[in-house]
Amino acid sequence: MSALFGNYGKRRAQIVKGQGTVVEDAKGKKYLDFTSGIAVVSLGHAHPAIVKAVQQQSEKLWHISNLFEIPGQETVAQKLVADTHFTYAFFCNSGAEANEAAIKLARKHTGKNHIITFEKSFHGRTFGAMSATGQGKVHNGFGPLVDKFTILPFNNVESLEATVDDTVAAIMLEMIQGEGGVNSVTPEFAASLAKACAEKGILLIVDEVQTGIGRTGTRFAYEQTVLKPHIVTLAKGLGSGFPIGGMLGTAELYDTFGPGTHGTTFGGNPLAMSVAETVLDHVFAPDFLHNVQDLSAYFIKQLKANLPTTYTVQGQGLLLGIGCGDTEVASYIKEAEEKGLLLVGAGPNVIRLLPPLTVSKAEIEEAIAILKSILR
Ligand SMILES: *Cc1c(COP(=O)(O)O)cnc(C)c1O
């Protein structure tokens, strides 16, 4: 009998090691990992530069706490805000924690507690982040939720215009809803968000926990829109497998988070920072991001050329989805795994494709061949 809570449902293959895009299970069977541990292992498994960073820093200092200055935090913060309109960074340990920080910052800065979020969004499992999440299945049984989130239909300009008023502290959303079905923000909706925030003095929080750090082919996904968020939150890809979260904010927010207002014991520890620095040195290099854009264009072209037109291809960069209409995708995901391709769903009807950003065209071709054999 297992000594674990059953909150994760039935587990799948037992993966014991990995190299790049390829992982191996306990029986020695190899798989192409097109989940990247849910958009996390962006440089691929066991990337030599990350292994080296962990080895070198772990021999020096793992943890000292935020009682002390941690030079790595300054280095990573500078790399994250360079050539952006952001000025400051805060580090924590997960996506939910980054969103908690954002919600707290927005409340304290504006003195208001009304935050607009959207249906099918996902912001995490802690009380604030869960309350912000627009999916009933995430809330069920855990009420009462935190006040006061108004959850509106995604990409719906009319409902947004009808709801924004002087009570609203912030609007929070993903540029591509990752868990909720790989739904991208439309240009019309982005324009309407920009207008609403400017006219009503509302803070814009973009949850880039899944889309950030190169996943969509640019450093941050908001860069492909007209939006200039006041706050972005980060996690998944920032540590390429090492647990880390982060929040970036504009200069005007600085005074709100003064000494003692917010914090975490583990956040931004030297080991995490050495990994994040290595990740950013790789991913933020222009050639690397151009290559992600190239791979994405190739992947999308191959998907469209090889799958029946009843399937839709969604998303940007290497956060792609195959929309399967009303068909449930669980059995496709199982079949792919049997054939050596690891996939993850996005809601019940969309297959999510999240290879490492270092995936090769040959690996994309192998994945396409497996997908083609399943999605006839
Ligand atoms: C995964 C995810 C989160 C939650 O991150 P955790 O590290 O699991 O807390 C929040 N927002 C988005 C968009 C995510 O994809």
Ligand 1 binding pocket mutation candidate from 125, 184, 208, 209 (most atoms within 8 A of CB) = 209
User: Taking all residues of the chain, what is their mean pLDDT, rounded to a whole number?
Assistant: 97
From the CB of 205, is ligand 1 less than 6 Å away?
no
Q: Output the pTM of the full model.
A: 0.98
What is the location of CATH 3.90.1150.10 in the chain?
A: 15-34+286-374
Q: 247 has which bridge partners?
A: 90, 233
At 164 the three-state DSSP class reads coil
The number of the ligand 1 atom at minimal distance from the alpha carbon of 96 is 9
Give the class (CATH, top level) of 50-283. Answer: alpha beta
Q: Give, as one character, the DSSP assignment of residue 134.
A: B
Ligand 1 binding pocket mutation candidate from 42, 179, 213, 247 (most atoms within 8 A of CB) = 179
CA–CA gap between residue 353 and residue 369 (Å, rounded): 14
**Furthest C-alpha separation in the chain:** 59
Query: For 143-163, what is each residue's pLDDT tens digit?
Result: 999 999 999 999 999 999 999
* For ligand 1, atom 15: residue with the closest CA: 210
CA–CA gap between residue 311 and residue 322 (Å, rounded): 6
Q: What is the 3-state secondary structure (H, E, C) of 241-264?
A: CCCCEEEEECHHHHHHHCCCCCCC
Q: How far is the CA of 359 from the centre of ligand 1 (A)?
A: 23
**Residue 149 identity (one-letter amino acid):** F
Which CATH number fits the domain 15-34+286-374, given the four candidates 3.30.1360.200, 3.90.1150.10, 2.60.40.1730, 1.10.565.10? 3.90.1150.10
CA–CA gap between residue 35 and residue 43 (Å, rounded): 12
State the DSSP H helix or E strand holding residue 88, giving kind and residue range, or none if neither. strand 88-92
From the CB of 179, is ligand 1 less than 6 Å away?
yes
Q: Give, as one character, the DSSP assignment of residue 45.
A: B
Residue 55, judged by CB atoms within 10 A of its CB (0-12, 13-18, 19+), counts as exposed
Residue 163, judged by CB atoms within 10 A of its CB (0-12, 13-18, 19+), counts as middle
Q: How far is the CA of 310 from the centre of ligand 1 (A)?
A: 30
From the CB of 119, is ligand 1 less than 6 Å away?
no
From the CB of 215, is ligand 1 less than 6 Å away?
no
pLDDT per residue as tens, the chain (376 positions): 899 999 998 878 999 999 999 999 999 999 999 999 999 999 999 999 999 999 999 999 999 999 999 999 999 999 999 999 999 999 999 999 999 999 999 999 999 999 999 999 999 999 999 999 999 999 999 999 999 999 999 999 999 999 999 999 999 999 999 999 999 999 999 999 999 999 999 999 999 999 999 999 999 999 999 999 999 999 999 999 999 999 999 999 999 999 999 999 999 999 999 999 999 999 999 999 999 999 999 999 999 999 999 999 999 999 999 999 999 999 999 999 999 999 999 999 999 999 999 999 999 999 999 999 999 8
Ligand 1 binding pocket mutation candidate from 92, 99, 127, 210 (most atoms within 8 A of CB) = 210
At 71 the three-state DSSP class reads helix
What is the location of CATH 3.40.640.10 in the chain?
A: 50-283
CA–CA gap between residue 187 and residue 116 (Å, rounded): 19
In this prediction, residue 102 carries a pLDDT of 98
From the CB of 122, is ligand 1 less than 6 Å away?
yes
From the CB of 178, is ligand 1 less than 6 Å away?
yes
The number of the ligand 1 atom at minimal distance from the alpha carbon of 208 is 13
CB atoms < 10 A from the CB of 357, how many? 28
Question: What would the two tokens of residue 283 be?
Answer: 């991913």
Query: For 51-104, what is each residue's pLDDT tens digit?
Result: 999 999 999 999 999 999 999 999 999 999 999 999 999 999 999 999 999 999
From the CB of 207, is ligand 1 less than 6 Å away?
yes
